[in-house]
Structure 1
Amino acid sequence: MIQHNRRTFLKLTSTALGGLALGAGTAAGATGADERFLVDLREVSASEIPDDVEIIHDLSAVDLLVARGDAAAVGGAAATTPDVTVYQANGGVAAEKTGPKASGDGASHNHDGPATNTELQWDKRVQNVSDLTDKPGDGTPIHDVTKGAGTRVAVVDSGVYNVHPDLVDVVNEELSANFTTDGLDFRPNGAGSHGTHVAGIVAATNSNDGPAGGVLGTAPETELLSLRVFSGVEGATGDTLAALVYAAEQGCDAANISLGYPYPYVDPEEFPVLLAIREAYRRVAEYARSQEMVIVNSAGNDGLDMDAEGILSLPTEVEGIFGVSATGPIGYGWGDKHDDNEEKWLTGDRLEEETTDPAFYTNYGSAVDVSAAGGDADLDALNGGVKGAERDLVFSTVNIVEEDGSVVSGYGWKAGTSMAAPQVSAAVALVRSLRPDASAEEVESLIMETASSAEGGETYHGAGHLDLKRLVKAAE
């Protein structure tokens, strides 16, 4: 297999970053009388805000407002902050590939023929989530103990395509919401399948009755809230903050935010607005904790040392936000050591790199609390069309836009810290299903205390690699 390095991810980053302007622009791309901005109610009273300033989100619970109008007319310089653009996956997914559609009749599981969908889920198989076909190892599957019943997880993202056969009845449509200003609902709108993929990692039910079956989430009995903050590929900081406050008020056990402000917009000296944005997230995280909700965020896909001088990776480096780095295998069911028997794809010497090895793109440093499965990639093999190279990515639910504009359900591979964070958000649901009265701090501590050591140590894994078997046993 061809070697890769941490910086080559830029060749495969799928989101264009040229339009991001933290220093001067706003999420809406407007200036003057039509700009979007945050209002700090600790610096100016709400009664002092002119009538011609539109309040988009009232976040007075954290002393903030999200507004549109002329920021110069609202208090002094300390009273407002530009509502800057936020992007999916801290700069885009590290790699992705669309897979099969969710169609077909009947069900069969082939042990030695073409892999079924769950057999492509190395992230679930290695954690022994359920009694998956040809699963490696032994012992009691996680789902024999808990499937996350009685819990609620918010997916703050690009929207969830809830008619997917593996997500039907998983999403609470009444409480799901759109926090953008595009006037549509909580389902995806031009932002791809990122949120649907994340939702499947958390709570897919493996309900598809097609020939290859469906996919399975870590907590298939949790309830999801789809809180859409992207309309197209861009979102707004204010919409994200509003969604997090809403999630806490709706009693969510966890809120998953696989988003952020990517390189090169990480230097607070060059972009001082980052400090104000950090403070806004800090207040929201503090409020979430007061409501006993855990905010889980992807560490970022820029291969950055977050402890280095001039690096502030948001919102991961915010006190009270649980940061997750990504790991993944190289050689899962393909390459020189490939074996046609799926049972052996995770065992013996079949892998060039283990599932717990740091992914080439992941950010790292002391802001990482734990690592989890986010997928890895041999980029030369993946870009070169080598058969099976996509299997090192994470396989989950997606929504596919057809040429005629119609949307259908399907499956696909993505790799990124965006895929690692929902593994942990689902773990929160598992813990809370067993310990409903556990505080947010207790849940986080239990996840960290039961994490396993992995190659790369604290720098890449924080307290360790997510270990569901140890976690569930400790939570019982």
Structure 2
Amino acid sequence: MPKHSRRTFLKAAGSAVGTAALVSGQVGASGGKNTRFLVDLTEVSKSEVPDDVEIVHDISEIDLLAARGDPDAVPGAASTTPDIAVYQHDETPRGGPVKEQNASGEGSKGPAWDSGEPLNTELQWDKRAQRVGDLSERPDNRRTVQDTTKGEGSRVAVIDSGVYDGHPDLADVVNADLSANFTTDPYDFRPNGAGDHGTHVAGTVAATNADDDGVLGTAPETEVVAHRVFSGVEGVSGDVLAAIVDAANKGCDAANLSLGYPPLDPADPGVIAIKESYEAATAYARSQGMVVVNSAGNAGVDMTPEDVLSLPTEVEGVFGVSATGPIGFLWDDEQENREDKALKKLEEPTAHPANYTNYGTGVDVSAAGGNYDPDAVDEVDGWYYDLVLSTVIEEADGEVEPGYGWKAGTSMAAPQVTGAVALVRSLRPDASVEEVESLIQETAQDAPGGELYHGAGHLDLRRLVKRAR
């Protein structure tokens, strides 16, 4: 395992993505004899695949192989389809802009406002708005979500860039034996240079607030299975499909997919084939009792028109999540009266649609993903407080340092719902996928923008656990 120090750092990393053009199914599909492609086992038998074609993943549960080599060597014109590139939902094929800013201060173990620096948990507006736990120095004896359950007995998969289990807030929740690498690089399930996106997602689900100076996840007693699908090698759909099926086979209650594609052309044959593959993987996952949770995407587009397709959000059976967040949270951080501010700092609404979020068809609920004012980034100290604070890492010279940082995106909204699934399954372990999803939707609250932006509504954990008890 890479070495790390216990030094805590705070880093702001928000994501703003402009509207993307429709993209065909050839994205990420290169020609030649080292091409990634999918093999349809309803068209050709596994025994007919030549030996010089490498089977990267055997996904026979859904009659599929993920392969590498020359697709023309496989018999049958309809037996193969190009694998296409998949992206973390803080990235697009066109890049950014991704915003980063280092923030001073490490949090405080003492009374937050007396010390002059807030506790990390006091910066978690997403958890405080949901009354997840005792997150401040001013408890008022009201019941919190975690007074009812912390997700004990549940298991979730984070299908992403890997999870660093050396982070003190994640050390006790990641199941290293079940976690796996689904890329073609030779490393394990940890990030290994793939970045901290998956570590941030995992913290939102299950961070334990180690030593009371960390951050708190929705379900800190759930078990996280880290399935890495991103690395220095371009991520492709076959790796994600294999990771979904494997997570279902491992008894996960939910799989978090904070990933996807730019808006796709639904008439493209390659896109149709990938969509059908996701439909098969999702149907299999549901048959095994696993909820598939997906971030809706950061292109700021309406997914409703028939000529726009957002994958995998619009796949039947995928639970799509849009993003919300405040504008102006703690922007007045330098004001002198900290005691008054401690009482008032959640005044900004947190359920307003984020400026970047996709919306429309495919959104089942909204959840906190962070927001930002583009005009404030260069003008307001603390603009990044509107983003979501969670666990991150910094990798340099083969060493890894754990810390806490801010990101914004539907990637940050999806794990709020994945954590909610863990809470429900902790209370109702035998609940079906349909029952879990219905509970989340039926207890969601109305929010600005209505159904177009929020589907059934904005996630409400307090109402959810009360109903699920």
TM-score with structure 1 setting the length: 0.89
d(CA) in 2 for partners of 1:153 and 1:472? 18
Provide the residue aligned with 2:261 in structure 1: 261
Instruction: Please report how far the alpha carbon of residue 321 of structure 1 lies from its aligned counterpart in structure 2 after TM superposition.
Output: 0.5
Amino acid at match of 1:324: V
d(CA) in 2 for partners of 1:258 and 1:444? 18
Contact 2:207 2:216 in 1 (8 A): yes
Provide the residue aligned with 2:109 in structure 1: 107
Residue 372 of structure 2, aligned match among 353, 356, 377? 377
Amino acid at match of 1:152: R
Q: How does 1:459-470 map to 2 (within 5 A)?
A: 459-470=452-463
Task: String of CA shifts for 1:423-458, please: whole Å, max 9, x gaps.
Answer: 000000000000000011110011001100111111
Provide the residue aligned with 2:131 in structure 1: 128
Q: How does 1:177-188 map to 2 (within 5 A)?
A: 177-188=180-191
Contact 2:181 2:229 in 1 (8 A): yes
Task: String of CA shifts for 1:326-348, please: whole Å, max 9, x gaps.
Answer: 0000011115997742331113x
Provide the residue aligned with 2:386 in structure 1: 392
Partner of 1:234, secondary structure, is: coil
d(CA) in 2 for partners of 1:102 and 1:56? 45
Provide the residue aligned with 1:155 in structure 2: 158
Instruction: Please report how far the alpha carbon of residue 43 of structure 1 lies from its aligned counterpart in structure 2 after TM superposition.
Output: 1.6
Task: String of CA shifts for 1:153-184, please: whole Å, max 9, x gaps.
Answer: 10000001111111111100011000011110
Q: How does 1:308-347 map to 2 (within 5 A)?
A: 308-334=305-331, 340=338, 341-347=341-347
Q: How does 1:236-247 map to 2 (within 5 A)?
A: 236-247=236-247
Amino acid at match of 1:221: E
Provide the residue aligned with 1:449 in structure 2: 442
Task: Tell me whether 1:436 sits opposite 2:429 in the alignment.
Answer: yes
More displaced stretch, 81-90 vs 236-245: 81-90
Change (3 A) 1:337 1:299: farther
Change (3 A) 1:147 1:459: same
Partner of 1:446, secondary structure, is: helix
Amino acid at match of 2:292: I
Provide the residue aligned with 2:8 in structure 1: none
Contact 2:15 2:409 in 1 (8 A): no
Provide the residue aligned with 1:409 in structure 2: 402
Instruction: Please report how far the alpha carbon of residue 78 of structure 1 lies from its aligned counterpart in structure 2 after TM superposition.
Output: 2.1
Change (3 A) 1:46 1:196: same
Provide the residue aligned with 2:352 in structure 1: 357
Contact 1:136 1:344 in 2 (8 A): no
Residue 282 of structure 1, aligned match among 279, 282, 286? 279
Instruction: Please report how far the alpha carbon of residue 95 of structure 1 lies from its aligned counterpart in structure 2 after TM superposition.
Output: 5.2
Amino acid at match of 1:377: Y
Residue 367 of structure 1, aligned match among 362, 365, 376? 362
Instruction: Please report how far the alpha carbon of residue 233 of structure 1 lies from its aligned counterpart in structure 2 after TM superposition.
Output: 7.6
Instruction: Please report how far the alpha carbon of residue 268 of structure 1 lies from its aligned counterpart in structure 2 after TM superposition.
Output: 2.4
Contact 2:133 2:144 in 1 (8 A): yes
Amino acid at match of 1:285: T
Provide the residue aligned with 1:306 in structure 2: 303
Provide the residue aligned with 2:169 in structure 1: 166
Partner of 2:441, secondary structure, is: helix
Instruction: Please report how far the alpha carbon of residue 136 of structure 1 lies from its aligned counterpart in structure 2 after TM superposition.
Output: 8.4
Contact 2:189 2:227 in 1 (8 A): yes
Task: String of CA shifts for 1:96-128, please: whole Å, max 9, x gaps.
Answer: 545569979x83231352111001100000000
Partner of 1:85, secondary structure, is: coil
Partner of 1:235, secondary structure, is: coil
Q: May I ask how many residue pairs the two structures share in their alignment?
A: 448
For structure 1, the 5+ residue unaligned runs are: 1-10
Residue 294 of structure 1, aligned match among 261, 286, 291? 291
For structure 2, the 5+ residue unaligned runs are: 1-13
Task: String of CA shifts for 1:140-165, please: whole Å, max 9, x gaps.
Answer: 10111000000001000000111111
Change (3 A) 1:101 1:160: farther
Contact 2:157 2:254 in 1 (8 A): yes
d(CA) in 2 for partners of 1:400 and 1:71? 39
Partner of 2:235, secondary structure, is: strand
Task: Tell me whether 1:249 sits opposite 2:249 in the alignment.
Answer: yes
More displaced stretch, 316-325 vs 81-90: 81-90
d(CA) in 1 for partners of 2:112 and 2:333? 23
Identity %: 63
Partner of 1:171, secondary structure, is: coil
Instruction: Please report how far the alpha carbon of residue 138 of structure 1 lies from its aligned counterpart in structure 2 after TM superposition.
Output: 6.5
Instruction: Please report how far the alpha carbon of residue 21 of structure 1 lies from its aligned counterpart in structure 2 after TM superposition.
Output: 7.8
TM-score with structure 2 setting the length: 0.90
Amino acid at match of 1:58: D
d(CA) in 2 for partners of 1:121 and 1:398? 14
d(CA) in 2 for partners of 1:249 and 1:255? 12
Provide the residue aligned with 2:11 in structure 1: none
Contact 1:88 1:233 in 2 (8 A): no
Residue 195 of structure 1, aligned match among 172, 188, 198? 198
Contact 1:134 1:343 in 2 (8 A): no
Contact 1:94 1:416 in 2 (8 A): no
Instruction: Please report how far the alpha carbon of residue 247 of structure 1 lies from its aligned counterpart in structure 2 after TM superposition.
Output: 0.2
d(CA) in 2 for partners of 1:363 and 1:242? 26
